[in-house]
Amino acid sequence: MFGVVQERNVNVQKKPKPKKTMHSFPSFSRKKVLVWIVVVVFIVLLIGYYLYKNYYSNYNYIKQDTSQYLVYTIDTSVNGQNMHSEIPFVNIDSEDANTVNQTIQNYADSFLENRNNLMVYDSQVNGEVLSLLLRMSDYSSGYSFPDVTFHTYNFNLNTQSLMSDELVLSLFDVTEDDVAEKIEIQFRDFYEEEVYKGYLVEEECDYECFLEWRGVEDYMDSVYYYIENGKLMAYRPFTIYSVYGEEEFFTEEDYAFYIAG
């Protein structure tokens, strides 16, 4: 008799499929790559810093002599009053700088023939502008106080060229009319202060009289521009002495008129 054959419950275990693995760099290789990246970046920054400090920040790439400052003293002398004259040299390798250096040297050779005269200078870099200020003290009149004159030169360090007065004024968005107004205001302040301190009697010498003693006919005569600590200054010579003894009232700083900045 045929019976029912029961199926045996046989658990057949399937072999697991092997997992696909992603090929990757060993961890130590990634670390090496990162280290090399850091090293390369550091070297690039180091080279950049060296070039900036020793080449660009000091403007060595435009200098005639990289061992010197942009302006340095090329010659000195001692006058009859034991004061030192200094002749500057603009250390820029350009046609304009060479012309300025030759002009200064020629003037100094003539001016300092008088053993009592004095010539000194100052210079500053503000942004991309190099400013040079010359001050000449002429003692040839025989007085104990000199006739003082000035001259300035402003260079664009990007182009190594001499800047015109108009270009210098444009940097501060001012005009010659603005400059004349500032100079007039300062002269009027001088006059009022002299009257206040008793150097002048207003009824005897009004403002026009004061200007006549100062030798001022036009506020813009012999005005030279110098950029100092980010400020535009106008240097204008004038007579500081008179029968009223005003040479005691004025100082060297009074020749510098603040304009803008």
The answer to whether residue 203 sits within a structural domain is yes
Q: For residues 142 and 223, state if they share a domain.
A: yes
How many other C-beta atoms lie within 10 A of the C-beta of residue 150?
18
How far is residue 135's CA from residue 118's CA, in Å, rounded to a whole number? 8
Q: For residues 136 and 53, state if they share a domain.
A: no
Determine contact, residues 70/59, Cβ cutoff 8 Å: yes
Residue 39 has a pLDDT of 60
The answer to whether residue 125 sits within a structural domain is yes
The answer to whether residue 72 sits within a structural domain is no
Q: For residues 128 and 230, state if they share a domain.
A: yes
Residue 48 has a pLDDT of 45
Residue 140 has a pLDDT of 86
The answer to whether residue 91 sits within a structural domain is no
Provide the token pair at 122. 């100052």
DSSP H or E stretch at residue 133:
strand 129-138
DSSP H helices in 20-90: 27-51
Domain tally, the chain: 2
Q: For residues 250 and 177, state if they share a domain.
A: yes
Q: 69-83: per-residue pLDDT in tens?
A: 999 999 999 998 899
The string over 217-234, giving b where at least 16 C-beta atoms fall within 10 Å of a residue's C-beta and e elsewhere, is eebeeebbbbbbeeebbb
Residue 32 has a pLDDT of 66
Residue 166 has a pLDDT of 98
Residue 143 has a pLDDT of 74
Q: For residues 143 and 255, state if they share a domain.
A: yes
Q: For residues 51 and 137, state if they share a domain.
A: no
Q: For residues 48 and 177, state if they share a domain.
A: no
DSSP H helices in the chain: 27-51, 95-111, 165-171, 176-197, 207-214
Q: For residues 236 and 134, state if they share a domain.
A: yes
Residue 243 has a pLDDT of 85
The answer to whether residue 49 sits within a structural domain is yes
Output DSSP code: residue 163.
P
Angle at 151 between CA 156 and CA 142, to 5 degrees: 165
Q: For residues 50 and 124, state if they share a domain.
A: no
The answer to whether residue 104 sits within a structural domain is no
Q: For residues 51 and 132, state if they share a domain.
A: no
Domain of 152 in residue numbering reads as 119-260
Residue 18 has a pLDDT of 53
Q: 172-216: per-residue pLDDT in tens?
A: 999 999 999 999 999 999 999 999 999 999 999 999 999 999 999
Residue 10 has a pLDDT of 44
Mean pLDDT by 10 residues, the chain (261 residues): 40 52 56 63 51 61 96 95 95 98 98 96 97 96 86 98 98 98 98 96 96 97 98 97 88 96 95
DSSP H or E stretch at residue 76:
strand 71-78
Determine contact, residues 207/188, Cβ cutoff 8 Å: yes
The answer to whether residue 225 sits within a structural domain is yes
Question: pTM above 0.75?
Answer: yes
- Domain end marker among 58, 77, 105: 58
